[in-house]
Every structure is written in structure tokens, then in C-alpha cells.
Amino acid sequence: MAKKFNRNRHGNDRAVVAPTPAEPPGRVGLSGRSILYVGGRDCQVAHLRQIASNYGAELIHHDGGLREAVSRIDTVLPSVECVFCPIDCISHDACLRVKTGCKKTGTSFIPLRNGSKSSFERAMHELSERATR
């Protein structure tokens, strides 16, 4: 913890203890790895990228076939460590394609209960713990 001094309204200095930022526990375990997130909400992609970055991983996003061709998933799968799919925000076709592709390439498939940031954060934490064991 770092000490910092602030001056109060009476001109007196007072010590304020500021917590030092800590790295997430799994950062070493996922460092340099790429993960694919298929589906979800476009407005959350930047937040999901930040969460992945906090763990040292790179997030590749595919919208699940809304604007991008579903066939692009097949070309990305061999280059990623695992694939996350929020089951509430993905088409059946895209989900089936991901599951089939993961079986063929031996890539981990991780279904998420929903497309929330907290659901993804929990899954990343579990993945990082498994990677460090």
C-alpha cells in the first residue's frame, strides 16, 4: 500500500492510504493466449476485451452470424485456446457450428449461462485457475 498525503480544507496534511493495483490471479496462466467469443451483445465487446486483457488473453469476437459469415468461425477455431458462447445471445446455427468445430479441432468449448460481463469474468477466472495448475 502506498501512502499519499492530502491537504484538508484547514490546510493540514493527512495521510491517505491508497491501495496498490493488483494483477488478477490468473494473468500468468492465460498470458499470450487467444480466445474466441461467439455471440453476445455488441455493446459489451469492449468490456469483454478488457476482462480478457486483464487475464493476459486476447479476445476475438464473432457476432454469431448477424453481420459476419458463420463460416468465418471455422477459420478462426484452429488459432484459439478456447471458445465462449453465451447460450442466450447466439443463433442455434452458430452454436452448433462452434460445438462441431471445437470437437474437430480439439478446442475447449465453454458455454456461458448468459451474455453478462460477470458470467464471462467467472469463466475467465476458472479458466485461468485451470491453466495455472
18 pLDDT more than 50: no
75 belongs to a structural domain: yes
pLDDT the model gives residue 29: 65
Task: Mean pLDDT check: name the lowest of 13-17, 51-55, 120-124.
Answer: 13-17
The count of domains in the chain is 1
Average pLDDT rounded to a whole number, residues 12-27: 48
Domain range for residue 110?
A: 24-132
Q: What is the dihedral of CA 111, 116, 120, 121, to 10 degrees?
A: -150
Q: Which residues pair with 112 in a beta bridge?
A: 86
5 belongs to a structural domain: no
95 belongs to a structural domain: yes
- CATH number for the domain spanning 106: value is 3.40.50.720
* 117-132 and 45-54 helices, crossing angle to 10°: 20
pLDDT the model gives residue 60: 96
103 belongs to a structural domain: yes
39 belongs to a structural domain: yes
37 belongs to a structural domain: yes
Amino acid at 81: E
8 belongs to a structural domain: no
Q: What is the dihedral of CA 4, 8, 13, 19, to 10 degrees?
A: -20
Average pLDDT rounded to a whole number, residues 22-29: 50
109 belongs to a structural domain: yes
pLDDT the model gives residue 130: 86
